[in-house]
Amino acid sequence: MEKQEIKNKLFSRLDKYCRIHTTSDPRSETYPSSKNQKDLARVLDKELKEIGMKNVSTDKYCYVTAFLPGNVKTKKTIAFLAHMDVSPAACGKGVKPKIHKNYKGGPIDINSKKGIILTPTNCPPLKEHIGDDIVTASGDTLLGADNKAGISIIMTAMEYLIKNPNLPRPNIKIAFTPDEEIGRGTEKFDVKKFAADAGYTFDGDLKGAVEAENFNADFVEINIKGKSVHPGTAKNAMANAARIAAEICSSWPENMTPENTDGYDGFIMFDEIKGNIENASLSGIIREHDIKKLKKMEKLLLKIIEEKKQKYPLSQININIKEQYRNMKSVIDKNPQVLSKLIKAVKKSGIEPVIKPIRGGTDGARLSFMGLPCPNVFTGGYNYHGPYEWISLDSMYLSYKTLINICEEWTN
Ligand SMILES: [Zn+2]
């Protein structure tokens, strides 16, 4: 009975939030990057007040925060976070969530007219969700379970804790943030003022997933100055910058590119190459979970550049490597309770934690280095950022239970 009631609440919230258009805009210079994120912020601000949260506020940058005082002796304050924006990679306007109850196996018709059909062949994890209630969009848009499922889970758990004051809980802080999808979700966030001891972003994917490691990330830019002369008299006199750029790119080992790596293997991806005989440039990203291996890859790249300098003495080649973000593991390792309590909480929900590295960065990673150790927790969704996105309401329920269990874990 109770499970069904919670699932109903989770669905009605997810449905409501997904219908509000909150696509973030990478070209915008404002905070939040798109005005429509404020529409969801207003709804959430009002709802947090209605369920009985304290100190509810929305600041000018669109951070919605709230507080729930603890009811045990511990002075610890634990935070739960989710982001309000959806990815600009697909249309996020006019989302109409659809519920497919009691999944029996086989295809799920998202929009057969458009040929958008979810099957166990194009998405094998579906097979593990027989009997679940599955939510999709309607074929024209993404769903936005990333990350409105996280908001629904947090909101529903807070409502439950407030209605059951006998359940032990630490001090709890909530933050709903804008612009995560464009990498700016924490830029204006005042971690000191927020003042929590540990945080959890509910922004993961598959059932049971716990993510406390992400990439170390650097950015590389290589500029090449060539020497242009008439091609008829170019022998031993020309340096073709464009050709040198292409050669650098193809000298990078294929087994260290994103197309050929997964799990803990790192890569360099050159994502822009442009130029002519006189000038050329290459830029790219460098990613690796292990900082020592990151530095080793960079050494290899520097060696390649050195070789090209020798080979093309008429050219000038400059390389510049800049730090982007670091693996939160180093912060979590110093605060092991943050992860061990999460793992216990997942197990207590009756599932085995799937501990996996993030092949990217998260708001949690940035927050960890700003002073709030912050692993990422599953919500139960798949195929984010496109029309095939789906989420299991039953997995959302397990994520919700994990959140309640995290609270209990922090009272002892
Ligand atoms: Zn997300």
Confidence check: pLDDT of 204 > 60: yes
Residue type, position 411, single letter? T
Confidence check: pLDDT of 325 > 70: yes
pLDDT at 270: 95
Ligand 1 centre and the CA of 321: distance in Å?
Answer: 28
Residue 269, strand partner residues: 285
pLDDT at 93: 97
Distance CA(370)–CA(196), nearest Å, equals 12
Question: Which pLDDT band holds residue 75 (cuts at 50, 70, 90)?
Answer: confident
Ligand 1 centre and the CA of 178: distance in Å?
Answer: 11
Average pLDDT score over residue span 257-270: 95
Confidence check: pLDDT of 47 > 90: yes
φ/ψ of 82, rounded to 5, equals: -150, 160
Ligand 1 centre and the CA of 147: distance in Å?
Answer: 5
Note if the bond before 32 is cis, omega within 30 degrees: yes
Ligand 1 centre and the CA of 179: distance in Å?
Answer: 10
Confidence check: pLDDT of 11 > 90: yes
Confidence check: pLDDT of 385 > 80: yes
| Structural domains of the chain, with CATH | 2-213+327-409 (3.40.630.10), 216-324 (3.30.70.360)
φ/ψ of 184, rounded to 5, equals: -120, 20
pLDDT at 363: 87
Q: At CB < 8 A and 24+ separation, what contacts does 261-264 make? A: 262/359, 263/357, 264/289, 264/290, 264/357
pLDDT at 360: 86
Ligand 1 centre and the CA of 304: distance in Å?
Answer: 36
Confidence check: pLDDT of 21 > 90: yes
Q: Which of 25, 132, 133, 180 is catalytic?
A: 180
Ligand 1 centre and the CA of 180: distance in Å?
Answer: 7
Average pLDDT score over residue span 91-106: 97
- What are the tens digits of pLDDT across the range 287-320? 999 999 999 999 999 999 999 999 999 999 999 9
Ligand 1 centre and the CA of 22: distance in Å?
Answer: 13
pLDDT at 276: 97
Reported as half-sphere exposure (CB side, CA atoms, 13 A), residue 196 has a value of 32
Ligand 1 centre and the CA of 153: distance in Å?
Answer: 14
| Separate counts of helices (H) and strands (E) for the chain | 10, 18
Confidence check: pLDDT of 1 > 60: no
Ligand 1 centre and the CA of 400: distance in Å?
Answer: 17
Q: Find out whether 226 and 280 touch, Cβ atoms under 8 Å.
A: yes
Confidence check: pLDDT of 337 > 80: yes
Residue 27, strand partner residues: none
Confidence check: pLDDT of 339 > 60: yes
Ligand 1 centre and the CA of 83: distance in Å?
Answer: 7
Within 10 angstroms of residue 45's Cβ, the number of other Cβ atoms is 19
Ligand 1 centre and the CA of 296: distance in Å?
Answer: 31
Ligand 1 centre and the CA of 139: distance in Å?
Answer: 20
Confidence check: pLDDT of 225 > 60: yes
Cα angle for residues 301, 303, 304 (degrees, 5° grid): 65
Average pLDDT score over residue span 129-139: 97
Within 10 angstroms of residue 233's Cβ, the number of other Cβ atoms is 9
Write down the pTM of the prediction: 0.89
Please name the residue that has the structure tokens 């997810």. Answer: 14
Axis-axis angle for helices 336-348, 393-409 (nearest 10): 130
Average pLDDT score over residue span 350-374: 92
Would you call 247 a catalytic residue per the annotation? no
Alpha carbon distances (Å) from 408 to 171, 175, 277? 11, 20, 65
Distance CA(231)–CA(224), nearest Å, equals 19
Confidence check: pLDDT of 25 > 80: yes
pLDDT at 284: 94
Q: Which of 25, 47, 85, 213 is catalytic?
A: 85
Confidence check: pLDDT of 379 > 60: yes
Q: From 351, 373, 350, 347, select the one nearest 362 (Cα to Cα).
A: 373
**Tokens read off for 55:** 């100190």
Confidence check: pLDDT of 61 > 90: yes
Question: Which pLDDT band holds residue 54 (cuts at 50, 70, 90)?
Answer: very high
Distance CA(371)–CA(308), nearest Å, equals 42
DSSP string, 130-186: TT--EEE--SSS---HHHHHHHHHHHHHHHHHHH-TTS---EEEEEEES-TTTT-TT
Q: Find out whether 341 and 409 touch, Cβ atoms under 8 Å.
A: yes
Would you call 180 a catalytic residue per the annotation? yes
Question: Which pLDDT band holds residue 255 (cuts at 50, 70, 90)?
Answer: very high
Ligand 1 centre and the CA of 146: distance in Å?
Answer: 5
The mean-pLDDT minimum among 35-44, 248-257, 356-365 falls in 356-365
Give me the chain's average pLDDT, please.
96
Question: Which pLDDT band holds residue 324 (cuts at 50, 70, 90)?
Answer: confident
